[in-house]
């Protein structure tokens, strides 16, 4: 075994890719890598993909000799970094963990167990927010925790098929990438720009290629996601919701509006109205003064996302590549 990857190769054939672009998250990145060393079943390899930051690349190679460190050779962005990690691995399953998240000790085992059925294309799990200020913003509705990259109210509470996984905690069979391609550049996050949906587009693309395939949500496969103070603010919420609308418009162009908005229609017609009523009930029944703010945030979030979607729907199509 070479010096770039000395983490024990035992248990299921599963590699873990962690992407990083800045040393401002060094503490979180170190904790993320450490959580891989505490797994009950060691991953085949831990691959750290650096997004266009040569100084960070050199620093992590020196600091983590038991991790395989690679560089994104595609255009700058999270999609390219993930693709670099995929190319560097060899295992049958490829899992993804954010550089500001830590995995529970049984995370690898839980994800790998989900592939017992050959129809399963991908498995992801619950993402629990760790608020840098010590507690969640009282105005933020749980239905919108996706804004900070975490699991949100409306996701299954038991193992169930879903349309797509969330990037902070997801895995796929290698053959998914071999047959339908990698993550598309032009959709996902670049640096701190609050866009996303590259994993949504990939999941839909895979499901369209294998109509009988399953994307599985396993809530017991847990990670804890650190939320920086800047992402706990109303300004970030507004920008992230607006950017989500833009991203959904781009995804709809690629996979069709019906597939691209199927989960959003259900969330909009069922989960969000119940969330608004719950928030107002908190105000009336429990005298929670933030109940009205949460109800208002739900309405505002939908409005911002719709505005982004409409704008992007009429804009010229960007260059989207895999």
Give Cβ neighbours of residue 262 (< 8 Å, ≥ 6 apart). 163
pLDDT reading at 3 higher than 50: no
- Alpha-carbon distance of 262 to 249, in angstroms, equals 13
pLDDT digits (tens, 9 = 90+) for 52-107: 999 999 999 999 999 999 999 999 999 999 999 999 999 999 999 999 999 999 99
- Alpha-carbon distance of 100 to 151, in angstroms, equals 15
pLDDT reading at 279 higher than 60: yes
**Total residues belonging to the chain:** 322
Residue 87 in tokens: 């190319």
Question: The pTM is what?
Answer: 0.91
pLDDT reading at 7 higher than 50: no
- Alpha-carbon distance of 179 to 311, in angstroms, equals 33
- Alpha-carbon distance of 6 to 9, in angstroms, equals 8
pLDDT digits (tens, 9 = 90+) for 10-45: 345 899 999 999 999 999 999 999 999 999 999 999
Q: What average pLDDT does this structure show over 222-226?
A: 98
Q: What average pLDDT does this structure show over 213-226?
A: 98
Superfamily designation of domain 14-233: Spore Coat Polysaccharide Biosynthesis Protein SpsA; Chain A (3.90.550.10)
pLDDT reading at 252 higher than 70: yes
pLDDT digits (tens, 9 = 90+) for 152-196: 999 999 999 999 999 999 999 999 999 999 999 877 555 445 567
Confidence class of residue 6 from pLDDT cuts 50, 70 and 90?
very low
CB of 277 within 8 A of CB of 292?
Answer: no
- Alpha-carbon distance of 60 to 4, in angstroms, equals 11
Q: What average pLDDT does this structure show over 275-291?
A: 95
Burial of 243 (0-12, 13-18, 19+ CB in 10 A): buried
Supply the pLDDT for residue 8: 40
């Amino acid at each position: 075994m070479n010096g770039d990857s000395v983490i024990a190769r035992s248990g299921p054939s599963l590699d873990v890719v962690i992407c990083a672009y800045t040393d401002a998250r060094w503490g979180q990145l170190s904790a993320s890598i450490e959580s891989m060393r505490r797994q009950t079943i060691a991953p085949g390899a831990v691959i750290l993909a650096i997004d266009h930051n040569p100084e960070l690349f050199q620093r992590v190679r020196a600091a983590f000799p038991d991790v395989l460190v690679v560089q994104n050779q595609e255009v700058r962005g999270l999609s390219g970094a993930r693709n670099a990690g995929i190319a560097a691995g060899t295992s049958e399953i490829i899992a993804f963990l954010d550089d500001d998240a830590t995995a529970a000790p049984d995370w690898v085992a839980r994800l790998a167990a989900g592939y017992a059925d050959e129809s399963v294309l991908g498995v992801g799990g619950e993402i629990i927010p760790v608020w840098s200020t010590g507690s969640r913003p009282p105005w933020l509705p749980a239905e919108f925790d996706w804004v900070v990259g975490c699991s949100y109210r409306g996701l299954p509470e038991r193992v169930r098929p879903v349309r797509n996984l969330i990037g902070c905690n997801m895995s796929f069979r290698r053959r998914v990438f071999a047959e339908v391609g990698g993550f598309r550049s032009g959709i996902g996050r670049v640096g701190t720009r609050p866009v996303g949906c590259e994993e949504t587009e990939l999941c839909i693309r895979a499901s369209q290629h294998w109509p009988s395939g399953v994307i599985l949500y396993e809530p017991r496969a847990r990670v804890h996601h650190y939320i920086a103070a800047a992402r706990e603010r109303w300004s970030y919420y507004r920008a992230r919701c607006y950017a989500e609308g833009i991203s959904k418009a781009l995804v709809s162009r690629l996979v069709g509006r019906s597939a691209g908005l199927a989960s959003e229609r259900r969330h909009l017609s069922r989960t969000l109205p119940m969330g608004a009523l719950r928030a107002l009930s908190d105000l009336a029944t429990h005298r929670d003064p933030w109940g009205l703010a949460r109800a208002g945030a739900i309405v505002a979030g939908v409005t911002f996302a719709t505005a982004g979607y409409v704008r992007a729907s009429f804009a010229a199509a960007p260059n989207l590549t895999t």
